[in-house]
Structure 1
């Protein structure tokens, strides 16, 4: 009997399809699925190794039919075939039939005992009704002819958020649509564009749907109604952004072209020699593909490499500039995995026999040009993001080194036609005094990063500097957009004076951040930094961190194939302790692995819901020797420094007692070995689970402090996974339910004479800081870059005013009401 393999990005979709096939076929059919990636295969994606194992599970000489849903599933299946013995290849068919209809037709034929060729023909025939309905073979493009839409439901909505469906809202739209077993398309009724697939971020963005445009969302399939409800909620919540008629707190500067200048992007004055940066692509091979499967394999490998690099870049940007700025690189990941872009590339490889590099390059160029053809300037700027991602993959495909950070021998003003977000994020702040670009604008992602990184910047200068040679002295004012080419000595002196004044103002803010933090009525608040590496520690000190409220130790364990030794952990932790110095306490969180993080050398159990499974402290307690090794390294590294150790993901008292016992065991062993180490140490726990918050009076007797992890506390309290765009309205730590838990924790802690910190994202939220202080929080720990601003906000407060605001917030019903209350207070 022929075997059937179903390859899908969604585990739920594949499993549901198998259930359906079992109902419509009378005879037993050998079916295997390869679907999803990550813990419990709960994330969207495909895995070549699992496809290989699925084929082997149902293989016989009668053959195996493989059906794939879309995009990178085809690439993964091609890789799996390459890994199988050559003698099996002739018995395996990759069938281009539609996933659901093709599977039904194939299962029926398999149950009838048909041969592989007949089964494949019948599955392919499931396309005929659609082909006849469309009247022609669809070309390689994103637009879906309206006549191809299946009967279903449709809703019409008006976009009210700033910039409409630009990169991040488009990404959230695609992520939400992808969660449902439904075919979803979107049409821009105002511009008369579409329909396009809701699973393609590029297709969505090229609709040119901006604020006040009407869009129509059409859905068909088993979960069409649910999908439309989720997308409606997402659009009506403005994707978590301000409405178009509301001012945005950190709104990009208005474009103000000036004589001898351009568009002001990021404030600041700079005077330095011009450095002309010209990005060039190496030659792209044009030889036809001799082996399309091998070319698909090469593409898949390059996509994997660049995906990892982008994730690392996002993590670094999150630490240096904040969560919002790092989201730019999350959008880059969606571009990298865009199904329309991948399918376009696949077709060029398999049908036009282009090599992987050429096919990818042409697909990227076509997609970028579609952005440039849009009437909206904000969406036009997204072409740079597409080309940024495209260039990285292309360099990997032609075995060229990745873009290295730009290096300079002296301070310069950097000039380029445009800068990509990747290039901007890698700039050496000590040598780049300013940025000028011929293109771009205030809403480009490189502009957003320039502002976040504090580099004076001007864009849109056109041909003003096109013929100015490198080394020419340039003056610039990022606040006004003015540029001076080879200014005379008197003007140069004036510009140097203006720069000194600007730097002085910035230094005063930086200097003020070095002082301890007190409210206006002299109430002490500790402002600490969240750290995840040695460079973070240096940044924290520059920004006035009074200590570290959360040292994430995962950096010691991730991105490696074997567990770090005790000595390796000791060396890296010791460097951070020495950098922070003897007067700044460091709170070390023990390993928080599981849920969304895994280690190749520490297999995690298979769980239906890993976020509610064996993770963090639970995992450490199940691996006591592994845990003791980390505890020993922490104690050794902290010798001579103020040390606090914090256990994550605590649900009940027994976990705390077991963890303390292992810590005592590590301490006793170090004494016996005569190894210097810190002792005694403060011991605390993270309050992330509602049970811990409710047990705070009992837990306070077991520990020295609490630190509230508002990210997990919010998602567990509101039963809303924080990465789910459809539930973004429930991912706000200012929800009154969360605030009430925080209040109960601080009251219990203070009654027991213990202190409470907040180390989640809420701790760095300028709107949340006054309410947290009003609820009794003693310490805020946040991203280092946000420390000066948070300190300034706290110094303008009085404790009674903060307490009054917090009391009013507790009476609100939703997080949006709380934020409206704060906005009213600040008006």
Structure 2
């Protein structure tokens, strides 16, 4: 392993830096310190003799990398080199990297076993992410030569560039990467992207595979560069796409949830008969095992004589597979919904991936490979790159690439795609299933899926959940040794497979399966009924909606109304502001869809984190605490006025309420209400039909609004608590920061105290309180919120049946008591344990 020597004028600095490097690189790397001058090296300065001595002390056959701080340190190090024996001197590498950042990077690289050249190169690039993050005017250029791949080639035309942070859940995974490629491909420009966080090289933004192998995750910074005729437009479009989180922030229609596991006695067989894995799709099943083996496609070994004909053969196969994939997507939309079926859109995009096609074309043209061999080799190379990534989520994308690759190979060889059909019910056992194989399952026969590979975020797991098939992944190799037709019991709640269960366990699993299926149907059957507690209190269970499709799903799932209509969908995906008529039509259509039930329309809730291209917003260091939501609307009176006119007009024959987001002070409420009065007067004067009076409320997302709720209550019709932001601001923890997840639990007693402040003020003034954050759909939170005085819960449409079932299973007194206990807890963990124990006492919920 390569050793490090730190040369500094300050002994204290160098010794502290060693401690910091060890925190990052571990204890294995040998690090020597040659710092200070004088008898005990306590004075500032450097000593060539000491440097030479330290180098010899840590000398390694793999080499020694020396990092220095200031000018005379370099001179001393060069003098020290002359004092070393020839064999030691040959192993010494001077690195011109910055001392602190460079030492950390060098330590990490040395701990990985890299060579001195790699260590020096990485250390020299250590300042680049900092410079980009601080928008430094000039790029940082290391003094040593680095790989030419660090920057894209600059050809003719102005180079346009931007640095962005990925704020969506998984970064550039399959679907966002697909949208990124689609967007980049629209422009006549050479567009490249690099991951600054990992220090990756630039790759083509028009290659799905090259893009995804950047390993760009949530929170990573990427740099986009483009040159060519439409370079500026390309960079702007990609910037907008990333800042809108690839559309993932919007709530999409989701399949109805299945209830939590039914309680059952623990199975009693010996451990040898229980295989444990990861539960990825809930449910239980008992059936014989069927081992599914996907045979590899046939690859001919002939040499291509006519390369043009071979290339055309591949093009024909690609087109046939593309049509088949899109047909499969249309079929799956009807079975699992658009969101889950969208993976097949990414599959189709892989077929036109420029890197994949170029590699294949080159192998055919230059090496005279036949189409199948060339395609397989190109696909295998990309699969290997995915499998070599550190992130488990991105590793699983290798399955998607292999899936598409095999479809093309089968088309080239004339093998027809086979639907997986069984003569009797089975538990399907396999190494893994591709999305295509999962979509091809015979749902009448496949009772469960048991896999060696895959994870909860794999696309096969997502499809299994959407199709309602219990599934367990990550099982030990022993599952492959179970004889064909052996009966097993699969528990998709616990992630267990019981081999040859005895009669008692079989009956137990079959009973649980029956009750589980019945419970699903029972929830669906009663979801259109009101949610009334056992002692007669009605709780309105509404839906959070982001577009017309969401509204339609909400109605199907029994929503009592819309507790939050996000109007951002009208503003975010365009270059100009929506007109009054456009907003009126969209809101009116959603209002009509709810068939007379109330719809709470939230006014525009955007800011620096979701900037609008047609509004001149100044950059903000912390956009979450900046000009956003109602603050932005009040500063953009024409935009605000147009939206209020559209809402009031749309409410003329629909039941609309209006809600102002991110209110902090009573002055903001007065200003918003004055805007509303002015717009009403305008519409009245113009003779345009509109809803008046209209109920107007505010969102409580800022602690100050909760604290002064008593003063705000006389001026609003209702409060709606946005628990996501309320938690973020109360705990001073950005909710998108994965390192702070432990602080972002809305069941923290501090947040519950604030909710109680709001409900107490509302009750005093005869107003009602709703919750429209994620907490409203959290089954453990529902009793607590009701006990605190919340009377409306607005959840994602999929959660409506379950939330209604919980409401019907309790009394208001039970809810009040559990709420009092929750507020008295010390932390969120205690609250959750309390809530989980309480839910077990509710028979309609726990069984």
TM-score, scaled to structure 2 = 0.52
Mapping of 1:86-125 within 5 angstroms? none
Partner of 2:620: helix, strand, or coil?
coil
What residue in structure 2 maps to residue 788 of structure 1? 801
Q: Where does residue 68 of structure 2 map in the other structure?
A: none
TM-aligned CA deviation for residue 688 of structure 1: 0.4
Counterpart contact for 1:746–1:755, Cα < 8 Å: yes
Partner of 1:387: 399
> How far did 1:393 drift?
12
Distance in 2, Cα, partners of 1:773 & 1:792: 14
Q: Is the 8 A contact 1:7 1:69 kept in 2?
A: no
CA shift, 1:659, in A, is: 1.5
Residue 556 of structure 1, CA deviation: 1.5
Say which of 782, 785, 789 aligns to 1:772. 785
Cα distance in 2 for residues equivalent to 1:39 and 1:370:
22
Within the alignment, does 1:37 sit opposite 2:173 as a pair? no
- Once the two structures are TM-superposed, the CA of residue 438 in structure 1 deviates from its matched residue by 9.2
- State the alpha-carbon separation in 2 of the partners of residues 67 and 507 from structure 1: 47
> SS at the partner of 1:699?
helix
Contact 1:320 1:785 in 2 (8 A): no
Alignment match, 1:808: 821
Equivalent in the alignment of 2:741: 728
Output the CA distance in 2 between the equivalents of 1:721 and 1:821: 26
- Whole-Å Cα distance in 1 between the matches of residues 618 and 575 of structure 2? 18
Question: Are the counterparts in 2 of residues 646 and 684 from structure 1 also a CA contact under 8 Å?
Answer: yes
Q: CA RMSD in A?
A: 6.4
Question: Paired residue for 1:552?
Answer: 566
Partner residue in 2 for 1:692:
705
Q: TM-score, normalised by structure 1?
A: 0.53
1:256–1:654 CA distance, 2 compared to 1 (3 A) = farther
Q: Secondary structure at the match of 2:729?
A: helix
1:366 correspondence with 2:380:
no
Note if contact 2:127-2:140 (Cα within 8 Å) is conserved in structure 1.
Answer: no
Deviation at 1:683, TM superposition (A): 0.1
Aligned match of 1:512: 526
- What residue in structure 2 maps to residue 718 of structure 1? 731
2:549 matched residue in structure 1: 535
Aligned twin of 1:677: 690
Q: C-alpha displacement at 1:370, in angstroms?
A: 5.6
Deviation at 1:516, TM superposition (A): 1.0
The alpha-carbon distance between structure 1 residues 585 and 361, as it changes in their structure 2 partners (threshold 3 A), is same
Partners of 2:791 and 2:675 in 1: CA distance: 29
Q: What SS is found at the alignment partner of 2:527? A: helix
- Give the secondary-structure state (helix, strand or coil) at the position aligned to 2:164: coil
How many angstroms does 1:699 deviate by?
A: 1.0
Question: Given the superposition, is the C-alpha separation of residues 585 and 808 from structure 1 closer, same or farther in structure 2, using an over 3 Å criterion?
Answer: same
**Separation in 1, partners of 2:195, 2:815:** 60
Query: Would you say 1:761 and 2:774 are equivalent positions?
Result: yes
CA shift digits 1:714-769 (9 cap, x unpaired): 01111100011111110010111111111001101111111000000111111111
**Higher deviation after alignment, 557-566 or 414-423:** 414-423
2:716 aligned residue: 703
Deviations 1:127-154 (A, max 9, x none): xxxxxxxxxxxxxx99xxxxxxxxxxxx
List per-residue Cα deviations over 1:194-235 (Å, max 9, x = no partner). Answer: xxxxxxxxxxxxxxxxxxxxxxxxxxxxxxxxxxxxxxxxxx
Whether the 8 Å CA contact 2:724–2:774 is kept in 1: the answer is yes
- Cα drift, residue 422 of structure 1: 9.5
Secondary structure, in 3 states, of the residue corresponding to 1:686?
strand
For 1:386 and 1:538, how far apart are their aligned partners in 2? 35
Distance change >3 Å, CA 593–CA 6, structure 1 → 2: farther
Contact 1:345/1:359 (<8 A) preserved: no
Tell me, in whole angstroms, the C-alpha distance in 2 between the residues paired with 1:347 and 1:370: 20
1:628 corresponds to which residue?
641
C-alpha contact 1:686 1:709 (8 A) present in aligned 2: yes
* Local SS of the residue matching 2:604: coil
Tell me if 1:610 matches 2:738.
Answer: no
For 1:648, the equivalent position in structure 2 comes to 661
- Whole-angstrom CA distance in 2 between matches of 1:823 and 1:807: 15
Native 8 Å contact 1:8 1:14 kept in 2 = no
Tell me how many residue pairs correspond in the alignment. 554
Matched, 1:589 2:589: no
Q: Distance in 2 between matches of 1:648 and 1:277?
A: 54
Q: Secondary structure at the match of 1:780?
A: strand
Task: Give 1:458 deviation, angstroms.
Answer: 6.6
Q: Equivalents in 2 of 1:698, 1:453: separation in Å?
A: 47
CA–CA distance in structure 2, aligned partners of residues 621 and 280 of structure 1: 62
* Alignment of 1:637 onto 2:765: no
1:337-394: CA deviations, max 9, x gaps?
xxxxx999999999xx99x9999844531145569xx9xxx97x98543333787999
Distance in 2, Cα, partners of 1:9 & 1:423: 44
Q: Which runs of 5+ in 1 are unaligned?
A: 25-31, 49-65, 80-140, 143-169, 180-247, 271-275, 288-315, 337-341, 396-405, 408-412, 467-475, 483-497
How far apart, in 2, do the equivalents of 1:21 and 1:269 lie?
59
| TM-aligned CA deviation for residue 520 of structure 1 | 1.4
2:185 matched residue in structure 1: none
Counterpart contact for 1:636–1:676, Cα < 8 Å: yes
Equivalences for residues 352-431 of structure 1 within 5 A: 361-367=379-385, 384-388=396-400
The whole-number CA distance in structure 2 between the counterparts of 1:265 and 1:763 is: 23
Indicate whether 1:599 and 2:612 are aligned. yes
The within-5 A match list for 1:98-497 is 267=283, 361-367=379-385, 384-388=396-400, 443-444=455-456, 445-446=458-459, 448-450=461-463, 452-453=465-466, 455-456=468-469
By how many angstroms is 1:614 displaced? Answer: 0.9
Per-residue deviation at 1:14?
5.1
Change over 3 Å in CA distance of 1:19–1:569 after alignment to 2: closer
Quote how far apart the aligned CAs of 1:448 are: 4.2
Report the secondary structure of 1:701's partner residue: helix
2:540 matched to which residue of 1? 526
Larger Rg: 2
Alpha-carbon spacing, 1:622–1:282, altered in 2? closer, same or farther (3 Å): farther
User: Aligned partners of 2:798 and 2:196: how far apart in 1?
Assistant: 45
Per the alignment, do residues 719 and 281 of structure 1 end up closer, same or farther by CA in structure 2, a change over 3 Å counting? Answer: farther
**Change beyond 3 A, Cα 1:500–1:752:** same
Per the alignment, residue 579 of structure 1 pairs with: 593
Deviation digits for residues 546-565 of structure 1 (CA, Å, limit 9, x no counterpart): 11110111111222333222
Q: CA 1:743–1:595 in 2, change beyond 3 Å: closer, same or farther?
A: farther
Q: Distance in 2 between matches of 1:603 and 1:72?
A: 33
1:644 shift after superposition: 0.8
Deviation, structure 1 residue 277: 14
Is contact 2:534-2:809 (8 Å) kept?
yes
Specify the alignment match of 2:202 in structure 1: 74
3-state SS of paired residue (1:773): helix
Q: 1:383/1:542 Cα in 2 relative to 1: closer, same or farther (>3 Å)?
A: same
- Give the 3 Å change call, closer, same or farther, for CA 770–501 of structure 1 in structure 2: closer
Could you tell me whether the CA contact under 8 Å between 1:6 and 1:67 is conserved in 2? no
How many Å separate the matches in 2 of 1:250 and 1:499? 9
User: What are the Cα deviations for residues 173-213 of structure 1, in whole angstroms up to 9, with x where unaligned?
Assistant: x768x69xxxxxxxxxxxxxxxxxxxxxxxxxxxxxxxxxx
How far apart in 1 are the matches of 2:830 and 2:449? 42
What's the secondary structure of 1:592's corresponding residue? coil
Describe the shift of the 1:568–1:462 C-alpha distance in structure 2 as closer, same or farther (beyond 3 A).
farther
CA distance 1:698–1:281, shift in 2 (3 Å): farther
Q: Distance in 2 between matches of 1:9 and 1:346?
A: 31
Are the counterparts in 1 of residues 132 and 163 from structure 2 also a CA contact under 8 Å?
no
